[in-house]
Amino acid sequence: MAHPIKLVRATALVLAVLMLCTHTLVPAARAAMVTTGEALGASAAPDSRARLLALIDRADIQREMTALGVDPAEARARAEALSDEELAQVAGRLEALPAGGSSLGVVLGIGLVVFLVLLVTDILGYTRVFPFVRHPR
């Protein structure tokens, strides 16, 4: 029986080789038309590794969207309508990126402003609203 670590390494190697093979086979199967996006990015880095990464990002970002409640088919349609460049920019960050929703919650924001202003004025000694602020004198 092989050592478990060795087994994992061997499996990883086989998988990596398989991934590379399937990837390098893709262009041949597609008969090598150069897409407009590729032609535009040709000066950048369209090497196979970058394209492999983009391939992985596409699946990852769909999973990420699904995790945030988007229907899987819808997540795929969204990812398909984005360029590799656009996907690379957002991959792994969907949780943090701006999501335009509503300004209705601004009321909460105003409440926080009032709290912070009063806190500052309390600290400066103009007001005495919060008991937890240590006042001078």
Partner 1 sequence: MAYGRALALVGALAWLTGCALFGGQAIAPGDLAGAIPARRQVDGVPIHLQTEYHCGPAALAMLLAWGGLPAAPESLVDELLTPARRGTLTTAMVAAVRRHARVPYPVNRIEDLLAEIAAGHPVMVLENRGLPGLARWHYAVGVGYDLNAETLWFHDGRVAPAKRSLRGFNALWGRSGSWGLLVLPPERLPAHVTEDGWVRALAGLEAAGRWGAAARGYQTALERWPASLGAWMGLGNTLYAQGRLEAAATAFEAAVRHHPSAASAHNNLAHVYGRLGRGPEALAAARRAVALGGPLEGRHRETLKELEGAAP
Q: How far is the CB of 26 from partner 1 (least distance, A)?
A: 11
When asked if residue 136 is in the footprint of partner 1 (CB under 8 A), the reply is: no
Q: How many residues bind partner 1 (CB under 8 A)?
A: 57
Question: Which structure tokens are listed for 16?
Answer: 């990596």
Q: Enumerate residues 12-71 that contact partner 1 by CB under 8 A.
A: 27-28, 31-40, 42-43, 45-47, 65, 67-71
CB environment 58-92: b (16+ within 10 A), e (fewer): beebbebbeeeebeeeebbeebeeeebeebbeebe
Question: Of the two residues 4 and 101, which places its CB atom closer to partner 1 in the complex?
Answer: 101
* 55, 58, 78, 88: residue in contact with partner 1 (rule CB under 8 A): 78
Using the contact rule CB under 8 A, the part of the chain among 15-23, 51-59, 113-121, 128-136 near partner 1 is: 113-121
At a CB cut-off of 8 Å and minimum separation 6, what does 118 contact? Answer: 127, 129, 130
Chain centroid to Cα 90, Å, comes to 4
Question: Of the two residues 8 and 42, which places its CB atom closer to partner 1 in the complex?
Answer: 42
Sign of CA dihedral 76, 79, 84, 89: negative
Q: Give the Cα separation of 72 and 56 in Å (integer).
A: 16
Footprint on this chain of partner 1 (rule: CB under 8 A) = 27-28, 31-40, 42-43, 45-47, 65, 67-71, 74, 77-83, 86-87, 90, 94-95, 97-106, 108-109, 112-113, 116-117, 120-121, 124-126
